[in-house]
Every structure is written in structure tokens, then in C-alpha cells.
Homo-oligomer: A and B are copies of this chain.
């Protein structure tokens, strides 16, 4: 089947679950229910890969070392961009190469999403202007200060307003499942959550 290309941006001090949650959801979604379908890519609607600024290994929060699949120069076109958060986002708020890449990649992707403080990078790149959005509860004020036109949704777990943002860390799993539901229906999202033994977050998303 024609797979949607999902690119996950990773960087030093990216929060582990911020990128690993959506990676898990998108890479384990299958259109055929059950455990056996997960043994092959036959009914996998997504192909997931990681992208970093440079090709060297990224050191995530807590010291987890991940080898990116691509760097900015080699990354293939993607249909869906995931920007995770973590303390590493703070340094990147002033990194024009990263902000330019996010802006350029977002322009060429059908969907742009963030997890946790990944929203700070989207805001700094100018992508959240005038939109409803959320981030980790500890960064709501910082998000508002980066772009006062953003309409902050402090209690939503997932906010869809052209760009999809989500609350802290594990809310990225719900964000990814919400994308799965949009594209393939709630039954496929629920079955993927069931495969992962994941209890989907309660707060309704804003559309």
C-alpha cells in the first residue's frame, strides 16, 4: 500500500517519550486488527523515520542515544512532520537553520504536529500565528510570550487548528492516535491503542 511518510525531528535533549510515543503509534498502526498484522508492513499506513540537523547520534533527555535516519540535507519529503519537545527546544529557539528547516518542511507537508514544548519551535517559526494551540503545562506562558496571537488552550490534551499541537510528553501518544483517527477512523485508532494497551487520554480535542 501507499504509505504516508512521517518524519520525526530529533535533537539533543529531546524528551524521550515525546518522540518515542508518536514513533510507536505511527509505526505500529495497522489497518488489519490483531497481533499478527504487526509482524509485517503489509497493512501499515505509515512509514516513520527520524530527522536531525546533522547525521551524528542525538543524545535525548536522560542520555538515550539515537541515530537519526536522515539529516536536514538528506531527509526525503514527508507528509506529516512531528516536532517533539524537551529542554533542547530552548537552545533551538535561536537556531535559524532549525527554524528555517521547520518552516520549509511544514510548507511541504500536508500535516504539521507537535508534542509538548515542540509547540515553542512551531511558534517561533511563525506557524502558530492566530491559531489555537497547546503545550506542556509548564510552558504555556512561554508559548504565549513567543507569539501573543496564539489562542492558548490550557486544558485540552490535543488541539487541532490546521496544525495539531498536544500537551505534555505522553499527550503525544493521544495526538498521534488523533491523527490516525482523522485519516483512518476511530476504530483503527482504538485498535492501535488496544494493541499498545494504551488508555486514551480523556480530554476532548478541539477542532
Q: Which residues of A contact B (CB under 8 A)?
A: 15-17, 20-21, 23-24, 26-28, 34-35, 38-39, 48-50, 57, 61-67, 69, 87, 116, 136-138, 157, 167-171, 173, 195-199, 201-202
A34 CA to B116 CA in the complex, in Å?
A: 15
Q: How many copies does the complex hold?
A: 2
- From DSSP, what is the main secondary structure of chain A's interface residues? mixed
Residues of B within 8 A of A69 (CB): 63, 65
Q: A27-B63, A63-B27 are in contact. Are A196 and B173 (CB under 8 A)?
A: no
Contact: B197 with A62, CB < 8 Å? no
Out of B63, B65, B167, which one reaches A48, CB within 8 Å?
Answer: B63
A168 CA to B197 CA in the complex, in Å?
A: 5
Residues of B within 8 A of A17 (CB): 20-21, 24, 196
A170 CA to B25 CA in the complex, in Å?
A: 11
Pick from A49, A66, A116 the residue with the most CB of B within 10 Å.
A66
A46 — nearest CB in chain B belongs to which residue?
Answer: B62
- Least CB distance from A4 to B in Å reads 14
